[in-house]
Amino acid sequence: MNRYDPRNWQQVLIFALAPAIVGVLTLAAWLLGRSQVGPGYVHAGLALAATFFGGWQRFLAGFRDVARAKITVNVFVTLAIFVTIAVGEFVPAAVIIFIMAVVGALESYTLDRTRRSIRNLLDLTPPMANVRNGDAEVAVPVAELKSGDVVIVRPGERIPVDGVVAEGAATVNQAPITGESMPVEKFKGHEVFAGTLNETGRLEIRTTKIGADTTLAKIVHLVEEAQESKAPIQGIADRFTVWFLPTVLVLAVIGYLISGNVKVAVAVLLVACPCAFAIATPSAVAAGIANMARRAVLIKGGIFFEIAGKIDSLVVDKTGTLTLGRPKVMEVVGSDGVPENEVLRLAAVAEKYSEHPLARAVSALSRERALEVPDPDEFKIEAGMGVEAILGGQRVLVGRDVFLRDRGVTISPRMEQTLAAQAELGRTAIIVARDHHVVGLLAIADEVRPETIDAIGALKALGVGRITMLTGDNPRVAQAVASQIGMDEFRAELMPQDKQSVVKELKNDGKIVAMVGDGINDAPALALADVGIVMGAAGTDVAIEAADVTLMDDDLSRLVEFVQMSRKVLRRIKLNIFFSIIYNVVGLTLAMLGHLTPVVAVIFQEAGCITVVLSSTLLLWAEVPGPKFRPGSASASGHRAEVAA
């Protein structure tokens, strides 16, 4: 059962009850006035109650904008409503507020339902830590740890502090912090980070940083700082109102002077009240957001449609974004006539009881090929180097070239060339030997997502601009990936603050920057970018919170659809504004000639609102084609492209 959350009830009150109350009060005021039931001050009071209950926030904003010498839609609406009330037209004032309350509630709810707080951000850091106290271990709250404490971390546990390995060896998955696609071997003297996962081995870590000083906590701070620095873009309606309001005021005065009737001036103000203008943008945005939501793309605000249509620089994280973030055996190479399946079988036997990610990749391929993999008679793992096993009296070695040489295995010049060729491709190669003779090798790499190459090509075709890959991996791996998928450039060996610096550098050069990522290490850059886009299914909570757009199904082709939809939304906003102008011109002309009463003026401007809403509603069913897969491409053929881990 879901917990009661008072904030949800507040949202219900704001987004549902407020427009309903305004509507009921307005309808009651109109019916009483129409049927002339009760004294006039009753229906007038109901209309005023509806007006001020539904419009007080807009009125307050209007007064604040006036104090700041800004002319906005809120200023226009406030002026029109107060003038209307001043001449006794209470129901028309309430009707306008009701229309705006409904539209405003719809927009606010649509945007706020995708907003998430940064709660649970530090859940990666365990609350308790096992600290060595002499020969004993004591469970201590992480908040009470001090620099110099020795923390013990076992396989499967998250590291609670930043520190240096004092004893032990293990494989640590630090992708959330550094973005490295492959787990890293940690030995005595190596640095480790809070929030990373110890996959294998036991570590004793001497604490160097705790709490707010850890790398993870600093990432949180960077995210919050970047979110605060993102300035809003002024709305199109507000820019239009700057010159439109003075023009309407002049026309209202002229109408009054010509006719001598104050209701003509009021009709001018009401028919020109920019309700249609005010909803031209949010209604199109709401429809665009709903359309993309059906495509598993969540957008946190209409502003990002406007920005996405102007992107001229795109930076993309590699691991987990362009790639799947998991190792896979890409190639099995036999030596001296040894069949590939025999090389794979021997490797699978040796790695059968290993929990190392590379071992899991080997086991996965052996299962895929339906190989029989018996249990080894003996096996021994040397962390970070390789595995030694005994099978039927034969000694099987699987690991790095250094590991095999240390055990007396000779590696031929031809095998050296094969190792060099795999390294050029950015792959991790492990050698397989039997009784001191090399039988082959396995090349392991990360996989590019099946849609990546076509999505990048489609984005370039849309004129998105220069596309840069960012990664915590080494330059050799980065080069291999960038070449494979057609990146314009890449930056390698980056920490979270380095990725944010790349975004900052591009923005300082006047670029409109979009960032695509998935991990905690991407969060600062996502928050600082003009548009932050996160892979939602694989992305961490903090990355999703920091981002502005979430691709829930981890499909990069959705990014292409988002860019296309953003352009459709912008075109529809311009069309809506065109409709608004037509209604305003016709309505102003009729009002100036004295053909519109205040009530008819409200009905006329409401017709403009309806036209805009219907125009925007068409976006709900708008089609946005994804990338066109090229014949023979990785996507089209159904085979996944391979690149470095």
CA distance 554 to 537: 6
Edge-to-edge strand ranges of the sheet holding 378-382: 323-334, 437-448, 428-434, 394-399, 386-391, 378-382
Would residue 317 show up in a list of annotated catalytic residues for this protein?
A: yes
- Residue 398 burial by Cβ neighbours in a 10 Å radius (0-12, 13-18, 19+): buried
Own/partner long-range contacts of 417-421 (Cβ < 8 Å, ≥24 apart)? 418/333
User: Do residues 48 and 22 make contact, with C-beta atoms less than 8 angstroms apart?
Assistant: no
Own/partner long-range contacts of 223-232 (Cβ < 8 Å, ≥24 apart)? 223/118, 223/523, 223/524, 223/526, 223/527, 223/542, 223/545, 223/546, 224/118, 224/527, 226/500, 226/524, 226/527, 226/528, 226/546, 227/527, 227/546, 229/528, 230/527, 230/528, 230/530, 232/303
Residue of 162, 317, 401, 454 marked catalytic: 317
Q: Which residues pair with residue 533 across a beta bridge? A: 516, 549
Indicate the pairing of strand 466-470 with strand 313-317. Answer: parallel
Q: Output phi, psi for 288, to 5 deg.
A: -65, -40
User: Do residues 269 and 92 make contact, with C-beta atoms less than 8 angstroms apart?
Assistant: no
Edge-to-edge strand ranges of the sheet holding 184-186: 184-186, 170-173, 197-200
CA distance 470 to 492: 6
Cα 270 to Cα 76, 79, 445, 515: the distances in Å are 10, 10, 66, 44
SS3 content of the chain, % helix, strand, coil (to 5): 55, 20, 30
Coil, strand or helix at 355: coil
511, 504, 454, 445: which is closest to 478 by C-alpha?
Answer: 445
CA distance 177 to 525: 13
- Torsion from C-alpha of 534, 538, 541, 543, nearest 10 degrees: -30
User: Do residues 300 and 549 make contact, with C-beta atoms less than 8 angstroms apart?
Assistant: yes
Query: Where are the alpha helices (H) located in 434-556, listed in sequence order?
Result: 452-461, 475-485, 496-508, 523-528, 541-546
Other Cβ atoms within 10 Å of 589 Cβ, number: 13
Nearest 5 degrees, angle CA 50-CA 612-CA 230? Answer: 80
User: Do residues 50 and 22 make contact, with C-beta atoms less than 8 angstroms apart?
Assistant: yes
Q: Output phi, psi for 469, to 5 deg.
A: -95, 135
Coil, strand or helix at 274: coil
Contacts of 627 (CB under 8 A, 6+ apart): 451, 454, 455, 457, 458, 557, 560, 635
CA distance 443 to 642: 11
456, 444, 488: which is closest to 626 by C-alpha?
Answer: 456
Tokens encoding 515: 């960032």
Tokens encoding 179: 């973005």
CA distance 563 to 308: 6
Query: Where are the alpha helices (H) located in 114-214, listed in sequence order?
Result: 175-178
Catalytic residue annotation: 317
